[in-house]
A and B are shown apart, each in its own frame.
Chain A
Amino acid sequence: MPVTAIQASGLVKWFGEGEAKTTALKEVSLEAYLGEMLYIVGPSGSGKTTLLSVLSGILRPNAGSVLVEGADIWGLGSDRLAEFRLNKIGFVFQDYHLFPRLTTAENVAIPLILRRKSWDEAVSEAVKYLDIVGLKPRAELLPVKLSGGEQQRVAIARAIVSQPDILIMDEPTASLDGDTGRDIVSFVRRNILNHERCVVVVTHDDRIYEFADRTLEMEDGRLSGIEKRGANTEKGDK
């Protein structure tokens, strides 16, 4: 019996008012489980990123709930919500959003620093995670000295350094060439995903679909109801 990591129900989100009102999410419900790599796919403007933001405690929905460990995250105050994101969620942003003037190790250490670890302790812990993503020798370099794939790996290391239960990846291959993109997602699947962690990936890159355990399609603010099992699950590649 899979353990539920996220349980979202009846999510509604709109932007603007009056004639400019656009509904990005229309009664969206889903569940994500620990140990699975869940893909949310769909064309641009279908509401994927909005859904991801609502699920991760970044964007407040107009209706609906998101339960993580049985508690509705949208019932939390802003400080508790920030604490939730810091402790439970790891983010891999589409454009990485690394700090250009901090070293690779310092970038990875940021979530630990925000968790009140001392600077030196956080940086030395970060180096261990850089080792996991194969970038330990580059710990002292600035992000600008790294390739796109390496920067993405740094972003992944930063996302997992605080050992979150849920890893959120927004278009992880958008800025990478085909082979590198596949390598990154394959790496996450092999090394980051485990039975205590859930990885939610938003993408429209069909070259990486094969790594999903489950794929949900979105269109016009709704989950289209098609739930595909990924090739990996079928192959037992986990």
Chain B
Amino acid sequence: MKGILKLAYKLLVTDRTKFTALVGGITFAVFLMVFVTSMLIGVLNHSSSMVTNVGAPVWVMDPAVQNVATSIGMPDYVLDAVRSMQGVQYAAPIYSSGALVKLPDGTYQPVTVIGLDDTSLLGRPRSIEGKIEDIYATNGFIAVKDADFPKLGNVHLGSEFELNDHRAVIVGIAKVPLFSIFGIPTLYTTYNRAVQYVPNPRYTISYVLVQPKSKGDILQIKRQVKALGYLALTMPEFKRKVSTFYLFSTGMGINIGLMTLISIVIGIVVSGQTFYTFVLENLERYGALKAIGTTSRELIGMILFQAAFASLVGYGLGVGVCTLIIGLAKLRMPSYAGMEMFTNLGAAFGLVLVIAATSSYIGIRTVLRIEPFDIFRG
């Protein structure tokens, strides 16, 4: 069979124009699918960046919260109640809100202000300039150095700006694992300063961060929080909730889904058509092989091999081109959110299998129908 497969390989790749068109079609389809889904995965991943960056294992929130950026304030007794619950090792409040800062040049810049628990600083970022304790300094704020950092102007330790007519000073610069997708800079300060500086409604606790005594305690914590009328989610559950919101409540999911579907259709149509043309143009050769003594099983093997080979080459190139473009985009735009994961690479591989199966089916049907007698008749 090895020789027959080599024959199939030679028939396929030596017809360079057809082979290029075939592989090009599959490459394009795979590229489109991986690229679009990479964007989706990246956006969804970054949409819950605050959850990742703060890193608390359990989050308590109002049950009406749909995504991390639009929290609903909870009264202080929730924090006290959670702290007294069985299975809780410790719990701390966190504040998160949007605000406008007035930069030294007089321009206004929207920012996200995150207020960390004054006593524990639970969820603090990693300092790269200054010390985290400086957050306690008068008017102290820590700026996150991410893709949106330059929007704060020429920021350095000691830089000043205004926040709701309050003086604010940059006392540290920090790094976080994931940047936000909202395109605005992030400032950390203490919880008390945040609620003092940013205009707020009656209740100010955005979330209560909980450290359970053990993983086994999470279930009972959830039960107790539910009895209180609130919702406790583990970090992965909260991320999933945020992703679900963006996927199904914003139109992002349907748009990306449509683009993915289009890429599949393009892949199948272009590759199927090209492979069909390839088979048609080689029909005489297949007929001659059949006349000489190739069995139907061997012909099917040849076609399957050709379709699988072209599809896998297309898959490799498609993923390669996509990786290259995402890499280049990230070099140029650090805030570019696209990211490849096994999930979308696997899905693209599934697409390739569908393309290969469709192309093979078309090819096999055509080749099995040809009668060697037609070769004699010319």
> What is A's interface to B at a CB cutoff of 8 Å?
49-50, 52-53, 58-59, 78-79, 82-87, 89, 91, 93-95, 97, 99, 101-102, 106, 110-111, 113-114, 116-119, 122, 170
Contact = CB atoms under 8 A, between A and B. Distances in A.
B6 A119 contact: yes
Contact of A58 (B7, B14, B291): B291
A87 B292 CA distance: 9
Contacts of B373: 50, 53, 58-59
A170 B294 contact: no
B3 A118 contact: yes
A85 B289 CA distance: 11
B375 interface: yes
Nearest to A101: B14
B284 A82 contact: no
Nearest to B6: A119
State the main secondary structure of chain B at its contact with A.
helix
Contacts of B284: 97
Interface residues of B, number: 31
Given A102-B14, A114-B298, A97 B375 contact: yes
Interface on chain A toward B: helix, strand, loop, or mixed SS? helix
B376 A93 contact: yes
B106 interface: no
B288 interface: yes
Nearest to A106: B10
Contacts of A49: 376-377
Contacts of B376: 49, 52-53, 58, 93-94, 170
A50 B371 CA distance: 12
Interface in B1-47: 1-4, 6-7, 10-11, 14-15
Interface string B335-378: 00000000000000000000000000000000000011101111
Contacts of A106: 10
A118 B2 contact: yes
Please provide the 6 A-B residue pairs with the shortest distance between their CB atoms, ordered closest to farther. Answer: A86-B293, A101-B14, A113-B3, A97-B288, A85-B293, A59-B373
A91 B3 contact: no
A83 B3 CA distance: 17
Interface string B273-309: 0000000000011011111111111100000000000
A93 B285 CA distance: 12
9 contacts: A49-B376, A82-B293, A91-B292, A94-B378, A97-B288, A114-B3, A118-B3, A119-B2, A122-B3
